[in-house]
Amino acid sequence: METTLRGVGVSHGVAIGEVRHMGTAVLEPPAKQIPAEEAEREQGRARQAVEAVAADLMARGNLAGGEAQAVLEAQALMAQDPELMADVDRRIAVGSTAERGVYDAFAAYRALLAGAGEYLAGRVADLDDVRNRIVARLLGVPMPGVPDSDEPYVLIARDLAPADTALLDPALVLGFVTEEGGPTSHSAILARALGVPAVVALPGAGELAEGTVVAVDGSTGDVFVEPSAEKKAELEAAAAARKAALAASTGPGATSDGHKVPLLANIGGPADVPAAVEAGAEGVGLFRTEFLFLDDSKQAPSEESQVEAYRKVLEAFPEGRVVVRVLDAGADKPLDFLTPAEEPNPALGVRGLRSLLEHPEVLRTQLTALAKAVEGLPVYLEVMAPMVADRTDAKAFADACRAAGLQAKFGAMVEIPSAALRARSILQEVEFLSLGTNDLAQYTFAADRQVGAVSRLQDPWQPALLDLVAASADAARAEGKSCGVCGEAAADPLLACVLTGLGVTSLSMGAKAIPYVRATLAKYTLAQCERAAAAARAVDTAEEARVAAQAVLSGE
């Protein structure tokens, strides 16, 4: 009998297939004592396993490239955390086996991360995956992970670790459903990058029996269990119509009455450029430069290596616009040479621009590298700072750009509510704004983007978030400057229309989403988008906002 479950749709498309479950987690190793003379050997085994897992994660990152590479390299650094390893050594020294020492040390660290008020609670899934991989290697059992199958399937999991998501084969994994996660979790971001339909935060997903046929709608968040022939036909017809519309939509982003809305790509490095070019991106709206710095947490990359990486991206968009975000370190992306060792709440501490201003040599080197990389290229370079709180921050960044001799536009990311509320003040120092809706939602609602339990507060349709977008766009319009969106909100085609109606001047997203957004924008006039935006802001919940906007655009 057909039943319908509702989660959070995070990656467009429809997948119909049989359920396969993620491989089971590693069993808890036995707690047995070892003689003191074996401690050194066991410590060596533990270190070898840790290094092997870190190397495997790095290799997976290099293979996947782009966004996935940055995520997996951060996970590799987690595996090698010196405090964790010191704890492992201590436990082995008093009698634990290597596998038990690893298990218990990670359990203690896990409890810290999962504690009330701890920003890093959402990283527990990543930590568990690292632990499972190390313990599996020590026990000599298969790694947990994606099931082996010769036939395409829909993957079901409690959550998906980045190491698994990054290398999913879209030819076999038709789509995936997770019990946990949120719209801006690592799994969701990587699913969009892969173009795999996905639904997250679906309670009870793990109870679906192996082999059950399900239909996953990654746009609506609906999962149909044992769908009828009629439902399958309906979903397949809708998917075919969507595919035809995508193929027919080409050229620059614009509404049906010609209002231009440049559609740009979010990238993590040179590896993401081909997909952006193929999707028809009009440039880059967010070049996350962290990928280059995550290769070595002990020291910043050289100016020469940075110049080489930046130039590869800049050369790919002649006459186009490339917006580079300077290093955004801290919180979930710690770097030994930049990030404070101890902070009670890293998300509210020294991260982003704050870290760079405390280490001006790192910022100066990056800005100088960008200045050299753009020399002689016919590209419109724009450089922006993350985590700008006020005009003082904006001025400090603009002054640093000028001191480095950078010939580019300087901008500020709006990720903190104070920046949206005082946007006109900030625009006295910089030339553009870029809304990072993921972090803006996180700070507006005090809701960690990695925690499924608060995913409703991470929904970019929340009217309070739309109010802050509108405030920023209004300020930019008043100052005659631009205000784009580079958060995951821009990848939602319907929401892209609402953002356009709010006055946003450009939209940047993962390359796979560009055709969907281009085709949807082309169906409506600017006036329709403005009415949809007003309707979305006039209600009280994210779901009501989505329904209200859809009603306006469908003419109901």
CA distance 37 to 34: 8
From the DSSP assignment, how many helices (H) and strands (E) are in the chain? 22, 16
Give CA separation, 529 vs 30, 257, 489, in Å: 61, 11, 15
CA distance 219 to 207: 22
3-class DSSP assignment, residue 383: strand
CA distance 276 to 511: 5
Kindly provide the b/e burial profile for residues 363-389, where b requires at least 16 CB atoms within 10 angstroms of the residue's own CB: bebbbbbbbbbbeeeebbbbbbbbbbb
3-class DSSP assignment, residue 237: helix
3-class DSSP assignment, residue 210: coil
Quick one: tokens of 433? 């704004």
Quick one: tokens of 422? 């005082």
The residues near 459 (Cβ < 8 Å, ≥ 6 apart) are 8, 183, 441, 542
CA distance 456 to 232: 28
Beta strands in 114-159 (DSSP E): 153-157
Q: How far is CA 263 from the centre of its chain?
A: 18
Considering the candidates 483, 486, 497, 529, report the single residue annotated as catalytic.
Answer: 486
Q: For strand 198-200 and strand 8-11, is the pairing parallel, antiparallel, or unpaired?
A: antiparallel
Other CB atoms within a 10 A radius of the CB of residue 361 amount to 9
Which DSSP string corresponds to 434-476?
Answer: EE-HHHHHHHHHT--TT-GGGGGGG-TT-HHHHHHHHHHHHHH
Beta strands in 219-267 (DSSP E): 222-225, 263-267
Residue 490 has phi, psi (to 5 degrees) of -65, -20
Contact (Cβ atoms closer than 8 angstroms) between residue 512 and residue 429: no
Quick one: tokens of 543? 């779901």
* E strand or H helix at 21: strand 14-21
Alpha helices (runs of H) in 376-426, residue ranges in sequence order: 391-403, 417-421, 423-426
CA distance 183 to 192: 10
Residue 285 has phi, psi (to 5 degrees) of -95, -15
Per-residue pLDDT of the chain (556 residues), as tens digits, is 789 999 988 888 899 999 998 876 656 888 888 999 999 999 999 999 999 888 888 887 777 666 677 777 777 887 888 888 999 999 999 999 999 999 999 888 877 766 533 334 456 667 788 888 899 888 887 666 777 778 899 999 888 777 777 667 888 999 999 988 777 666 777 787 777 899 998 988 988 988 999 999 998 899 999 999 999 999 988 888 877 777 777 889 999 999 999 999 999 888 889 989 999 999 999 999 987 886 665 678 899 999 999 999 999 999 899 999 999 986 555 666 676 666 677 778 888 999 999 999 999 999 999 999 999 999 999 999 999 999 999 999 999 999 999 999 999 999 999 999 999 999 999 999 999 998 999 999 998 766 656 778 888 999 999 999 999 999 999 999 999 999 779 988 999 999 999 999 999 998 888 998 999 999 999 999 999 999 999 999 998 999 999 999 988 6
CA angle 545, 550, 554 (to 5 degrees): 155
Instruction: Tell me 380's DSSP state.
Output: E
Over the Cα atoms of the chain, what is R_g? Answer: 24
Quick one: tokens of 342? 């101890």
Contact (Cβ atoms closer than 8 angstroms) between residue 89 and residue 78: no
Give CA separation, 141 vs 29, 59, 137, 138, in Å: 12, 20, 6, 8
Instruction: Tell me 121's DSSP state.
Output: G
| Whether 497 is catalytic | no
Q: Which residue has the tokens 């089971």?
A: 24
Which DSSP string corresponds to 282-337?
Answer: SEEEEEETHHHHTT-TTSPPPHHHHHHHHHHHHHTSTTSEEEEEPP--BTTB--TT
Considering the candidates 186, 483, 497, 529, report the single residue annotated as catalytic.
Answer: 186
Contact (Cβ atoms closer than 8 angstroms) between residue 424 and residue 434: no
| Whether 21 is catalytic | no
* E strand or H helix at 14: strand 14-21
Q: Which residue has the tokens 């746009």?
A: 219
CA distance 541 to 178: 24
**pTM of the full structure:** 0.70
Query: What single letter denotes the amino acid at residue 399?
Result: D
Query: What single letter denotes the amino acid at residue 522?
Result: A
